[in-house]
Structure formats: structure tokens, C-alpha cells
Chain A
Amino acid sequence: MSTSHKTDRRGFLKGGLSLGALSLLSGCDLTDNEPAQRLLWNMSWWNDRVQAWLFNPNRLAPTYPESAVDRVFRYNAFYPEDEAPKLDPATYKLELSGAIRDKRTWTVDRLYQLPKASQITRHVCVEGWSRIGKWSGCPLRNFLERIEADITKKYVGFICADGYYTSIDMPTALHPQTIMAFTFADQILPRKFGYPMKIRIPTKLGFKNPKFVVALSVTDAYPGGFWEDYGYNWFSGS
């Protein structure tokens, strides 16, 4: 949901508003009242439950050969690329909170020494587009065990340096392909894709893959998410 993408469309969308007489036909008025909003939120909550039930912790996302990797990967955020945070490895810290025994903060150096797994998977955006990319980093499960997190809790929440935040269900956090990615396309994770660390989750839509992660929490209290709190489906599994 990039800003530029949206502003491109804004003129186009506003152009349609002059055709107000057709508003009932398009159902716009129906959507914009409170009971309809409640119904839709309840259906989204129901879809969260269905998706949690559909999620198979042992089912791996399809992987692809190196030749399938998209050489030009798409940038996407709620701000333009040149506004992406520029985190300094000398001062960066990953902070831990919630049901975690070892809450010591992590520096870039320590993070990058963690064991790594590599994957070539498809990143699917909620907008419909998809790109195949290569990421590598520490399986989140391995990290959660290392910091002695309570994996009986429901959620793992992430806070990012750009004000973004999101959260995932524990089964997905423990999935073997859910990784703390440190590299993209065999290079240190570039700034625009979330340096120094993003969470790569091939079993979820792109917006559930937070970049510039600076805090991680393990909790039973629903942490929500930036887009999720605006009505995007929370589970958003693939």
C-alpha cells in the first residue's frame, strides 16, 4: 500500500464521486454506516478463526529455484522509499518484552551471528501482486527458544522504526519458514527492505512481514497491527 500508488489513484477515485446518483447501485452508502462496519469486522474475525484452523504448522510454502527470483523487487510501504528509516548499526537495538525470560537487547552484530536459514519464496501482497525473492536469517523459532520465550502465549508482536507495527499468531511464529531476515538477494538487507532486520513469513501476506524491527514482544494481549487496526484482516494467511 505505497503512498505513491495511492495518490496515483486518488484523482481517479475522486472522479467517480461526481456520479453520486449511482451511489446506491455501488453500495457505497451501505458500507459506510456503523452496523455494516460491525458486520464486516465480525466476518473478518470469523475469517481469522477459519484461517488459524486451516493453518498447517508443517505445511511449507512452495520454494523456487534461483532462476525464478525477481531481479527487480518491488518497494512497498505507506511512505516513499526515500523516507525509509536509516538505522545506524552502532546504535540499533532490538528490544524484547513480554513473556520472555532473557530480555537482554540485541545488537546488529549479535543478531547477524545467529544461525541462518535461506529461502526463495513468493511474497504475496494484499493488493494482488507477487514477487519471488531470496531471504536468509535466523528462524524465529530458534530465536524464541534462545531467549526463552513462553511459546504457549498467543501472539508475537513487532514494532518497527518507521512507526509500523504488526503481530502474528504463535503457530506461525514457530513455523520453520518464519525467519528474522538479515539478507535479501544474498546481500545485507537493504535499507528500503528493512535494514537491519525484517520478519519474513512466506505463509502470510506481505503486510504481515514487518521491516526495520526494533522491538519484539510475546504476549496473550492482542497487539493488533498498523493496517489490521484499519480493517485489514489480521490473520492474513496464505
Chain B
Amino acid sequence: MAEGVEGGRADARYLVLHSSAVRITHWLNALAIFIMIGSGWRIYNWEPLFGFQFPVWLTFGGWPEVSQHWHNEQGLAGALQWHFAAMWLLVVNLLIYLVYGVISGHFRRALLPIRPGEIVRDLGAALSGHLVHRVGERNAVQKAMYVGVITVIMLTVLSGLSIWKPVQFQELTAAFGGYDVARYVHFFCMAAIVLFLAVHLTLTALVPTVLPPMITGRVGRRQ
């Protein structure tokens, strides 16, 4: 038995690439983010910050016509219900992940340190097609993106709290520049997460072998 990449057990046939804690929190987070963004877009549509709305089929919270039956309106209540239910999944799962990441050494092993020089080097290599993908190793650009998106998710939660409770958490709301500014911060954090997802999903599509290990945790040694 040898140490897996994530410190788990492995043998001659496979490496443990992702621990079960990372896999479970990853997929729960994916579910929570999916619901939060979908319902958030519906909520946004009721009072757009900019001159556009999200197509309703991309939003989450029940069919508008069914909503007329349940909620006497066209779908805001359903979106709010989902948003304020899924926030618990997002936050509890995030806290578990953060505590696990620190205590298990996952952050130290997998995401840190991030050196600006390495990011520039790896980004250049990636764009010119010379970046070597080694199983179980994240390059500096990946590390920066993962640390970045985790930070943005935390900012999204904090700006969301400041919109939800501008009286009880008024210091937090003030730190974001007040209620109206906090709404913009919340929006741009969402936009940053969507941008991350676009890259994350594109790369997974380009290198589909990275997907099975996020489900099983393992990768064969021959790969």
C-alpha cells in the first residue's frame, strides 16, 4: 500500500486522486451552486440591475404558470424559497470543506503555495499548448483558479448575507458599501463563478479523463 495523492490508501493498480471528503463536498457544492445561480437569476429578473434579464428557461424556481397556482405570481416566491433553502446546503457544505481542507492538509497539499511567477509561466505554457498535464498534479493556473473561486464563493455568501440582513448585519452591509452596492457585489461574484464554471467545464470536456476520478476518487496507474 502506498500513499495516494490525497493521502488516502492506494495500491499498485491505482492512485487515490480525490479523497471522499473532497468528492462529496465537490458534488454537493455543484448542486448548491446550480440552484443558487438558477434561482438567483430568477430573483434578478424581478428587479434587474442592468438592461437585460435572464431567459426564464435558464432560471430556477418553478414554471411561472404553476407558480400562479402556488404563489399567486409569476415565479419570484419559488425562486426565493429555493435560494433561501439551498443557501444552507452551500454554506454548511462550504464550512465542512474549509475545515476539512485545513485540518487534513488538503489545502497545503493540493492548492498551496501559489507563486505569481509560476502562474505566468504555466499560463504561457497552457496558451501555447506546451503545458504538460500530469495526473494528480495541479499547475499554478489551476491552483490560482480554485483558490480564487473558493474565495469568490465566500464573498458571494458574505455579500448575500449583507443583502438578506441589512439591519442585523449592518456593519457587514456597510463594509460592502451599503445595501445597493452589496447587490452589485453579489451579482459580480456570481458572474465570476459563472466564468470559472465556463473554464472548468470546458477543460473537463477537453480532458474528460479528469471526470471519473472526481466520482470514484481513483485513477489507474497506467494513465
* Across-interface contacts of B84 in A (CB, < 8 A): 43-44, 47, 233
Question: Are A26 and B38 in contact (CB-based, < 8 A)?
Answer: yes
* Across-interface contacts of A72 in B (CB, < 8 A): none
Given A9-B45, A26-B59, A128-B43, check contact A54 B74 (CB 8 Å): no
Label chain B's interface by main secondary structure.
Answer: helix
Residue of B nearest to A228 (CB): B77
Given A13-B75, A127-B46, A128-B43, check contact A56 B81 (CB 8 Å): no
Residue of B nearest to A226 (CB): B72
Q: Bits for A32-52, please: 1 = Cβ < 8 Å to B, else 0.
A: 100001011101100100000
Question: Are B74 and A126 in contact (CB-based, < 8 A)?
Answer: no
Residue of A nearest to B75 (CB): A13
**Does B66 sit within 8 A of A, measured CB to CB?**
yes
**Does B3 sit within 8 A of A, measured CB to CB?**
no
Among B74, B78, B166, point to the contact of A124 (Cβ < 8 A): B166
Question: Are B71 and A26 in contact (CB-based, < 8 A)?
Answer: no
Among B44, B53, B64, B81, point to the contact of A43 (Cβ < 8 A): B81
* Across-interface contacts of A14 in B (CB, < 8 A): 64-65
Name the interface size band of chain A.
35 or more
Question: Are B88 and A43 in contact (CB-based, < 8 A)?
Answer: yes
Given A17-B65, A61-B167, check contact A231 B58 (CB 8 Å): no
Q: Which B residues are closer than 8 A to A by beta carbons?
A: 35, 38, 43-47, 53, 55-66, 70-78, 80-82, 84-85, 88, 165-168, 170, 174, 179-180, 183
Q: Which A residues are closer than 8 A to B by beta carbons?
A: 1, 6, 9-10, 12-17, 19, 22-23, 25-28, 31-32, 37, 39-41, 43-44, 47, 54-56, 59-62, 122, 124-130, 202-203, 227, 230-233, 237-238
